[in-house]
Chain A
Amino acid sequence: MTPHPPSAEDSHQENETLRQENEALRRRLAEAEQGNEALAKGQIDAVVDATHQVPLLLRQAQDALRESEEQFRAMFDLTSVGVAQADPVTGRWLAMNPRMCLITGYSAAELLAMRIPEITHPEDRQRDWDLFQGVVKGEAPEYKLEKRYIRKDGSIAWVNVNMVVLRDAAGKPTRTVATIEDITERRKAAELLRESEERYRHIVEAASEGICSLDAELRITFANGAFARMLSFLPEELLGTPLERYAFPEEFDEFKRHMDVRRRGVAEQYERRLRRKDGKECWCLVSGAPILDLEGRFAGSFKMFTDITGRRRLEEQLRQSQKMEAVGRLAGGVAHDFNNLLTVMFGYSDILLQGLEPGPLHEAMQEVRRAGERAAALTRQLLAFSRKQTLVPEVLDMGDVVSGLSTMVERLIGEEIKVSVVVSPNLGRVKADRGQLEQVVMNLAVNARDAMPKGGSLIFELQNVELDDADTVTHAEIKPGPYVLLAISDTGTGIDAETQNRIFEPFFTTKEAGKGTGLGLSTVHGIVHQSGGSISVYSEPGQGTTFKVYLPRFAGDAAVRRPVSAVRKALPTGSETVLVVEDEAAIRKLTNLILQKAGYTVLLAESPDAAEQIAGSYPGPIHLMLTDVVMPGMRGPELAERLLRLRPDLRVLYMSGYTDNAIAHHRFLDAGTEFLQKPFTPLALMQKIREVLGSSGP
């Protein structure tokens, strides 16, 4: 301090300095107070330690920082997506969370030594890098990409990448940050779903069943090819159309009933017709199931259609043949009784005729006799139809049979119709009854004539055919194998479909009353089937008709037939002893009368038991047993076998209205068995007895 007295100026300056210092002190005080206040309010994060020259974070700030850091760490580490940082220039990995390591299969250390393209799938590499560069250059704020990584084990990981770039204050990219979501499983699931859908679509498309789905208003929302083909539409033509359009109007009620059932949530199966584009029907087995929405409300239905038109046709054929079978059985039973009655009528008629002098009474008796013959012919037809007629099959050349008949056919059908016979070479033989085959040919020829009132041509064709399984589907009762086909074609009026269905039914006729019995074609049907064959008809109205008769081709050697003795005109007589076994009293009585008149000694038995008794007790020789085939208790062949044990020289002659069931199983009596078909005349009986006894008479 200087010893000068203080001047006014000095004093003024001093005052000013003091004022300024005061001011500064006051401000520092205010600031300190304000600092204290901020501290008290917790608004301070750090205090600088002047000694160590480091800032010390206050506890609260430390906690908050640590917490924030931990939260970030946890998010980084625990997040279910991969997080990684990379160098924006080189693409080298700079940091990643454990999830990223899991996704790629590499450890963090391994990844840190790699670049992004190194683990990217080669096919995705260029695109990925272009996008990466685009974001780094600022051309796009971020990028999103589904791409593939090649994992460490070589497998592929599909990932969804989202990337952004971090920049410094100068805008220079410092690092990229990306989230990497593993979508491999999701893609696999989607792929599996797609494959599964494709597989099901393929199955549905390839199915031979028609498949469609309907919405709640019963409009078609899907139809496969098979369903469209059933209706002869294209699948896309069906879409959006109401299913009702493909029902027959007369079945709308039934259609609505089925749909009501579906609305109640019930599935069912039923048979129904669909109406095709051309108006024709297609019979289907329908499986319908309701489709319900999430709330369980009716949302439509799913339907599967199996075409059963073919099956129904077969069923129809089966019903038809069963009906024929039943009618045949009835006819056979009736015919059997008729034959017994006719035998009696013939017998007594002939006896009366022998006793009557020529005159009106003789004429009247002749008429009765002729009526009987017509009745017998009708009965034979019934039996042939019912397949109960006794056939005598022989090995035949069908060409011979048809050629042999052609003269008679020409005479029968008149000059307006040209008849031709075409026989293919090496035609096989058949085993059948000649008389019956002739009946078949004549019957079909007469039918053809009736179909051609103004003339035409009739062609008989014979050829060998092999029927396979497919052919036999349409011939319900026939087995696959070699056949001889006789096709008889006319150029007549043809037959409509309705008539074709019923043409082989007995008593079905299109002819005027009195012109046909309705038995002709049913007889043909019966004969052909009894011979193991089949017959079918093909016809178009106005185009003519072809009947095709298939007979099994015979492979074995021809059986040798016993020579038949010449027919004798005179009523033959005899003196041998004949045992007559017959349960019908009228026939027994008649036979007794005829045989006695002819000089035979007659023993009568009303049953097989009685016959056995007589055979055992009669003292003299018995030359012949004349026996019925079907009798209560024992059948003719069995009785013959027993009696032959007692009397080995006994000859046996069977008589029957039809063969019994046991014989019917073989279809025929063995060739060589002596047999007399009822009804028989006294002459036929006498001739047959002489034929049997002739060679070994007493």
Chain B
Amino acid sequence: MRDENRVPVQIGSFEQVVLPHLDAAYNLARWLVRKPQDAEDIVQEAYLRAFKFFGGYQGGDARFWVLKIVRNTSYSFLEKNRTANLAEEFDETVHTAVSEQSGVEGALAQSVDSQMLRKALDELPVNFREVIVLRELEGMSYKEIAELMGKPIGTVMSGLARARTQLKERLIRRRAEEGQHGLRK
């Protein structure tokens, strides 16, 4: 491929355009694959890919472009390393059933301990983790998330609603298990 190394000067160099999004790249990979070492490998692979395809980068939102590559790399990794547990993780209906019949009562009145929050988020199915991370930590709009995930906006909207409900229920349950009281105001 002749164009591989052509750096389009009018857009900016790879360094100016792609490297500043390293934190966003790592954050997404880390929340998708969960293990720090795997996340590092994925980001490295994604960045090498990004470098290779940089000639085809048309300008526009560079973070989006980087995250798209990171996302694809992460999901291929998850597919390849799919274990029995992971297979279940992809099937959100299993989890929905739990969440919707759980009837967890109580309210999330005060703020939550961050360690507990981290664990609860890590336990969500991967696509639920993803929408929460993109929306709450990356601050992306529904439209951007939909484009990144290649899904309709309506799906993102209901996915986010269900993800948050599950996260909240998990937190309430964890609190109850740890014998902390005062869930209800």
- Do chains A and B stick together as partners? no
Chain B positions within 8 Å of A, measured between CB atoms, are none
